[in-house]
Chain A
Amino acid sequence: MPIRQPVDVVVVGAGVVGAACAYYASRSGLSVAVVDRGPVAGGTTGAGEGNLLVSDKAPGPELDLALLSLSLWRELAEELPEDIEFDPKGGLVVAAGDASLGALSASAEEQRASGVEAYHVTPDRLRDVEPHLAPGLAGGILYPQDCQVQPALAAARLLHAARRAGALFLPGEEVLEIYGEPGGGGVRGVRTSRRELAAAVVVNAAGTWGGRVAALAGVQLPVQPRRGFVLVTEPLPPLIRHKVYAAEYMADVASGSAALQTSPVVEGTPAGPVLIGASRERVGFERTLSVPVVARLAAQASALFPVLADVRVLRTYHGFRPYLPDHLPAIGPDGRMPGLFHACGHEGAGIGLALATGSLIASVISGEKPALDLAPFAPDRFDPLVPCHMTEEWAS
């Protein structure tokens, strides 16, 4: 088994989060190897819609992370090739009735206080903002900061930039072991299906499979798959300008229930097809198409945009969001094993949160003070054996 020269950092996972970690770490002068059992963007990144959202986040650490990440995406969009399809399209959240509009307006008010731009749209103006919306909606909130990228290409371009800065990419190699100093010391490297890689730092960016990678280092991280379906329509002219979703979506995102939740999330793409989500259910890694779920998504989307009833769905696909019980990602060093870092568990927000995550991880590895307090994201916060954390106030 070939043993490579030691590297500073091994990143496990070549999704968008792993690519971002590699990008920022190699730009800080660290030598990096990215290992993935599959190709780049082969997991949840390749199944995402590419949302960079602030609109669906309540004030708190995730919103702070999202705002930081968005500013980084805007910077990076200038540097990376155009094919990442960065589009500052804005998000529009609509409410069907006065009750949900009230709740939506109240949460927008709180978001504004945390630095989110949010503008009320009256019912008579809704169709100026989105001409094909169904009539009769009570109103909405426009979030101009919401953006979209093509997630697979964004991950590939980030990784490509990291490689140009010296990072090594080893696709098709599964990490079989993360080993440390004998007697419970720090990380010394990883053993893959093809080689041994010596490194003092290992970053777990394995997304939905992050719990399995954590287990290779002997620590627990309760990442679970939360399945979502997306419907893809035939190519259409630009009909839907924003990412449009119903107010109920926020409640679904925040819910911890394993049962199915669906709420309409509809958006166009530069290539023409409209993407329709979003469902959430915890059914393990079940891969067969669920007719009730796609039927529900179809019904909700055509209620929101009646024009879509007459178009055809060419494809459906599913992805498994990496879900952690408090809906916050695990970002930062693992107190249980020196040198082990986690950057996973972003649930449905991984594309949006990737850059802040990568940048924070690179800061900590380099010994700099991170731009945000990482305590709420402490990876060992779920471990009953780790006594005390600052996370209680956020966990409620």
Chain B
Amino acid sequence: MKNVVKQMKGFSIQKMAIIFGLFAMIIFFSFASSNFFTPSNINNILLSTMINGVLACGAIFVIVTGGIDVSIGTSMSFVSVMLGVFITWWGIPAPVGILLGLILGGLIGLLNGIMVTKMSITPFIATLGMQMITSGLAIVITNGSPIYFNTIDGYQSICLGTPFGQMGGSDYAVNNGVLIMFALAVIFGVILSKTIFGRYLYAIGNSKEATRLSGIRVELWELLAYIVAGGMSAVAAVLMTSRMNTAYPATGAGYEMNAVAACVIGGASLAGGKGSMKGAILGAFIMSILTNGLRLLSIPTEWQKVLTGLIIIIAVFLDMTGKKKNKI
């Protein structure tokens, strides 16, 4: 009973606002378009949230520390291309190739982390540099043209496979990729909220100096957060290449900002110390439902962008006003 009360208290106005917003959006689009609440469209929404969701899983780790990683989108491009190189050009077996890709993603994160912690470069600048480097390399390696995975049997089913088959005879089926996203969100959500690693990250985001003076290896834990972000960009690369059966050298451009937006809509603060995995995933869903619904209503892409921008600003504004009220 005590626990329930505790949890209710932890349920801030802002978290309520997100969930309320999400439901309001679903109800609105369901009435506005008969195509919205259909099995195939739900599948579309899940698939389009997948990449943003996985990237947000990593981004939230960095954002909680008060940092930011703007290289995760282009790292995804770079790892995508390298997956193509490993698996199709060099003929490395897919599982090994994927493993190499994940390691590569982790290494990019490690480099970001070293720049931020050991070289004291501001996170935004360090990862902006990495963004340019990885996006450039992806094009250099491929000469700008896509790498196709057609020859690799079963590669596409990594993401698009349907382990439970069609559901109830309808055309609805859950894809592997979506399950992977949810699994990662749960695992890393637990890491963030229930382990000392997660606790240290929040502490660092709240006050790096007080955390350091508590005898905690701030640099080590911060570095690990960047490795998580890099690793997630590699997972996203695997899912993306598998879904498309192709590695496009510019496939991840812009995704980093979607991930940041998802985290922020979900209550994270770029000043650090705040945010949650639940919030980040909800944020990713809000963004893709909004895009999807507006598309069904035949609202032009340009206007979709304008509205998404407005949503982000409103979400953060609600967060700020909620905070001010708490202070009084």
Q: Do A and B come from one complex?
A: no
- The interface of chain A, by Cβ under 8 A from chain B, is none
- The interface of chain B, by Cβ under 8 A from chain A, is none
